[in-house]
Amino acid sequence: MNLSFFDQFSSPSLLGIPLILISLTFPALLLPSPGNRWITNRLSTLQLWLINLITKQLMTPLNKKGHKWALILTSLMIFLLLINLLGLLPYTFTPTTQLSMNLALAFPLWLATLLTGLRNQPSATLGHLLPEGTPTPLIPALIMIETTSLLIRPLALGVRLTANLTAGHLLIQLISTATMALSSTMPVVSILTFLVLFLLTILEVAVAMIQAYVFVLLLSLYLQENI
C-alpha cells in the first residue's frame, strides 16, 4: 500500500458505495449493552459510570427544561470521543476529519438552541446580543459584532473539531514519515524524531478527548443561554 498523505482523509468508498455511514457505526461495537444482570462485568460497569459522569457534568448547570437534551448530548459526547480515539489507530479513517460531518453535527444542534431561545424567551435571547454596561455610542457596533459572533458559532464548532483532528493526524503522518526517512541515513536523529512522535501521540490522545468534550460543552453552553 503506497499511501500519500491525503489517503487517510478521503472518505472511504467501495465500488462507488460510500462507506462513511458504516464507519460511523463502528464505535458502537465497543459499547456492550448492559443486559439483564444486576452486577455486570467491568466494562459495562465502567461504561455506566462514565455515562453517569458525563450526564451529570453536562446537565447540572441546565434547568429542568434543558434536561430533555441529556440523551442527545451524552450520546454525542460518547460518539465523538470514540470516533476520535479510534482514529488514532493506524490505517483507520476518522469521520470527524470531514468538515461535512462536523458541520452536519454542529449546525442543526446550534440552530435548535437558537430557535428554542427565540421561541420561548425571544427578548432574553436578543438581549444576549448586547452585553451589560456598554457605553451608549458603542451599541450599534457591538450589536453587529455580537450578531456576527452568534451566527459564526456553528462554523466555529465544526471547523474547530475538523481542524484539530486533521492537523493532529497530518502531523503524525509527517513526523512518522520523517522518522522512516531518517532511519536509513541518520538513525540517531530518527530515534529523536520517534520520541517526538511518541509525545505527539500522547498529545493527540488528549486532544481527541478534549475536542469531543469541548464540542459538547459549547453546545450545552449555547443551550444554557437560550433555554
Partner 1 sequence: MLSRLVLRAAPAALRALPPPVAVGVLHTTRPLHTTQQSLAPVPPLPEKGGEVRHGFIPEEFFQFLYPKTGVTGPYMLGTGLLLYLLSKEIYVVNHETAAAACILAVIVYGIKKFGPDVAAFADKLNEEKVSAAQAMKDETMRALQTAIEEEKKEQWRVEGRTYLFDAKRNNIAMLLETNYRERLMMVYNEVKKRLDYQVALQALKRQKEQDHMIQWVEKNVIQSITPQQQKESIAKCILDLKALSKSAHAAV
**H or E segment to which residue 121 belongs:** none
Using rule CB under 8 A, residue 53 touches partner 1: no
Residue 5 C-alpha cell reads as: 498523505
Using rule CB under 8 A, residue 57 touches partner 1: no
Q: How far is the CB of 202 from partner 1 (least distance, A)?
A: 6
Residue 132 C-alpha cell reads as: 451589560
DSSP reduced 3-state for 4: coil
C-alpha 113/C-alpha 156 separation (Å) is: 15
- Cβ proximity to partner 1, 11 vs 173, nearer residue: 173
- Interface stretch with partner 1, choices 12-20, 56-64, 96-104, 170-178 (CB under 8 A): 170-178
Using rule CB under 8 A, residue 198 touches partner 1: yes
Which of 16, 17, 25, 90 binds partner 1 (CB under 8 A)? It is 90
Residue 63 C-alpha cell reads as: 434547568
Quote the DSSP letter at residue 18.
Answer: E
C-alpha 209/C-alpha 81 separation (Å) is: 6
- Interface stretch with partner 1, choices 84-92, 101-109, 121-129, 208-216 (CB under 8 A): 84-92
- Cβ proximity to partner 1, 179 vs 226, nearer residue: 179
Closest CA to 96 of 34, 28, 8: 8
Using rule CB under 8 A, residue 26 touches partner 1: no
Quote the DSSP letter at residue 20.
Answer: H
Enumerate binding residues for partner 1 (CB under 8 A).
1-3, 32, 35, 37-43, 45-46, 49, 88-91, 172-173, 176-177, 179-180, 194, 197-198, 200-202, 205
